[in-house]
Structure 1
């Protein structure tokens, strides 16, 4: 509006102060005034268009500034998300590393497979006892996973520290005490026992869970003056396995 206010008086001054203005007739003056009015009207229209363009430019500039502000905000948000994603990636990598370490530890600590089972007689029939060496050597080995049991000595040696389950059974006739003792490092743990009776034969069994350190020895031995019997039917047996390491 300031531009228009300045330009219009100047134009009007030029129009009104034309050459020979006071020397023309009324018809000429009227015609001249009409022409000048048209010129002024045309100038006013052009000034209006200029002002509209100016308003449009100002509106466009305002929209542009708003767009710049929005882009700046979005960029800041994007940078924030990028930082958060980088932090999440670092945490995820650390978590994956911990999982891998746990897997390795679990794999390293996985319970070894240790189990054995054997009977006294590997062929024919066998009577064991009474004898000086009362250790029962179970020759017929059904399984020996982990090689903890020695079929030459009858002794089981713990490969690793842990809790082990042991069971044994004895069978014999009434002429002698029937039974045996389960020992840990030569110390009595549990036993089976049946004194001589009038019946034809006797059998019994027992079991225990023992905590062993690696290298501890477990074996079965006869009672003093005891005797047991076995054949391929597997009456007198000795078995054990690792429950879990400790």
Structure 2
């Protein structure tokens, strides 16, 4: 019901932003009611042109009317519709309870301008914060670049000193040193520019047969494009030492996790666990550092017919270091 039996209409000092129109609106408030939640009725308003419109929303005991832009000045009257008098708990179910607020054109423009100004200030502050973050990121990149340049300078000095020492040798030795210098330079460049890693999950077949390749089809990372989700195999793009990992989950009493890591068709590492009758789910993992020549493939392979996997399996790997 109305708190003191009377309606009180007023123009809100602060404009209201509407998500539906994406605009700021001058808002008129009428109340005050004692309902905590939105009532089952609404107040109606009579505009200066005589048009009857319903309230836009209910908030904290007051019905709000968001005025269309541009705002029409004049008298706005709020009242309870006759059909809602009893629901609104008016004395004697009267529909004569109303309140009038006079809207001034100049005041409404100032209210809207103030709201837009505050919004712009907020946007400027956000832009300043983003600008500061960008400055910090640039400074971090400069620091990293300085460290990298320092490492390259040290490597170049080392190569230069070795070259000077060996220039006293015969032409064959000099040729070999030039070759080594070129390889070192290429290696340093590879370390800076070439990255290899992959992560794939979700097996295409949860019950593979013995010697079937486990094929995770959802690729979350494939830097260097070494992993093929169609075959489940990773092919090394460069000679080097690689780290391979697998996380395997299985379910069903009496089933196993029986998998081996294959390198160029040969088993490199096995993982095995049996799900006892007291368990319904088990997990296992493997990790191996392997020297793999460029073009050679690595994959996971079922080692029996008794595997029954869940979807939370993954196969991943990354290049640890290049071979010169």
Q: Residue 164 of structure 1 aligns with which residue?
A: 242
| CA spacing shift, 1:177–1:106, aligned 2, 3 Å | closer
SS in 2 for 1:152: coil
Q: Residue 230 of structure 1 aligns with which residue?
A: 310
CA positional deviation for 1:178: 1.7
Q: Residue 199 of structure 2 aligns with which residue?
A: 117
**Conserved? CA contact 1:179–1:228, under 8 Å:** no
CA positional deviation for 1:132: 5.4
SS in 2 for 1:181: strand
Find the aligned partners of 1:171 and 1:156 in 2 and give their Cα distance: 21
1:152 aligns with 2:230: yes
Between Structure 1 and Structure 2, the one with more helix by share is 1
| CA spacing shift, 1:117–1:98, aligned 2, 3 Å | same
CA positional deviation for 1:109: 3.9
1:189 aligns with 2:276: no
TM-score (norm 2): 0.40
Structure 1: stretches of 5+ with no match in the other structure: 1-94
SS in 2 for 1:110: helix
Find the aligned partners of 2:203 and 2:225 in 1 and give their Cα distance: 20
| CA spacing shift, 1:108–1:229, aligned 2, 3 Å | same
**Conserved? CA contact 2:207–2:307, under 8 Å:** yes
Find the aligned partners of 2:212 and 2:303 in 1 and give their Cα distance: 7
Find the aligned partners of 1:220 and 1:128 in 2 and give their Cα distance: 14
Max Rg structure? 1
**Alignment deviations for residues 150-173 of structure 1 (CA, whole Å, 9 cap, x no partner):** 000000000000000001011112
Q: Out of 214, 220, 232, which is 2:300 matched to?
A: 220
Find the aligned partners of 1:141 and 1:228 in 2 and give their Cα distance: 21
**Conserved? CA contact 1:165–1:208, under 8 Å:** yes
SS in 2 for 1:164: strand
Using CA pairs under 8 Å that are at least 6 residues apart, name the structure with larger relative contact order, 1 or 2.
1
Find the aligned partners of 2:225 and 2:160 in 1 and give their Cα distance: 35
Structure 2: stretches of 5+ with no match in the other structure: 1-156, 162-180
SS in 2 for 1:230: coil
Q: Out of 180, 189, 201, which is 2:281 matched to?
A: 201
CA positional deviation for 1:105: 4.2
Superposed structure 1 runs of 4+ greater than 6 Å apart: none
CA positional deviation for 1:203: 0.6
TM-score (norm 1): 0.52
Between Structure 1 and Structure 2, the one with more strand by share is 2
CA positional deviation for 1:175: 3.4
Find the aligned partners of 1:118 and 1:209 in 2 and give their Cα distance: 18
For this pair of structures, how many residues does the alignment match? Answer: 143
Q: Out of 248, 253, 256, which is 1:177 matched to?
A: 256
| CA spacing shift, 1:133–1:183, aligned 2, 3 Å | closer
